[in-house]
Structure 1
Amino acid sequence: MLHPDNPVTVTVTPESASVAAGATQQLTASVTNATDTSVTWSSSDETVATVDSTGLVTVLAGATSGQTATITATSVEDNTKSDTSVITVA
């Protein structure tokens, strides 16, 4: 149920992280003003980092230092609301 006076907000933590190739980083999404607080996760560049349904980011072993991928959590209830975390290969 959408709440026009209290819009759905999504907050991803941490906002950014440096992660070594082959390592993982757990992200957390907080959704407020929504009945359904679940999110879908996506990666801007799956050749650098992938993300699973729980927000666990895996930087690929072949990724090189300095490469980045933006991980997005999108509200299931209101898919116009999302937040991101930038993952940089350490």
Structure 2
Amino acid sequence: MDQTTLALKVGETATLSATVTPDDAANKTIAFTTSDEATATVTPKAGKVTAIKAGTATVTVTTEDGGKTAECVVTVTE
């Protein structure tokens, strides 16, 4: 994942990205999830994070092939 921490204010958005290696991997499908949708939502494929309310949420990206993960801690402030 391109970031391990992210700070946003309520209403702001940011897009996270992840790179699957090796470059010639047959399946590069990934999915983003959030630990707390009340604090920050994330689109499953594009990785667009939207800050909903003050707090902290962890956004996780998971590879479809192999289940490898990476995390970004999102801190939302007023």
TM-score of the superposition, structure 2-length normalised?
0.88
Gaps of 5+ in 2: none
TM-score of the superposition, structure 1-length normalised?
0.77
SS of 1:73's partner is strand
Distance of 1:22 and 1:89 partners within structure 2: 9
In the other structure, the counterpart of 1:15 is: 4
In the other structure, the counterpart of 1:30 is: 19
Aligned length: 74
In the other structure, the counterpart of 1:43 is: 34
Distance of 2:73 and 2:5 partners within structure 1: 5
In the other structure, the counterpart of 1:7 is: none
Distance of 1:19 and 1:58 partners within structure 2: 8
Offset of 1:23 from its aligned partner? Answer: 0.7
Q: Higher Cα Rg: structure 1 or 2?
A: 1
In the other structure, the counterpart of 2:63 is: 75
Does residue 1:56 correspond to 2:48, yes or no? yes
Distance of 1:16 and 1:36 partners within structure 2: 26
Show structure 1 runs of 4+ deviating over 3 A.
Answer: none
Distance of 1:59 and 1:20 partners within structure 2: 6
Does residue 1:89 correspond to 2:44, yes or no? no
Gaps of 5+ in 1: 1-11
Offset of 1:25 from its aligned partner? Answer: 1.0
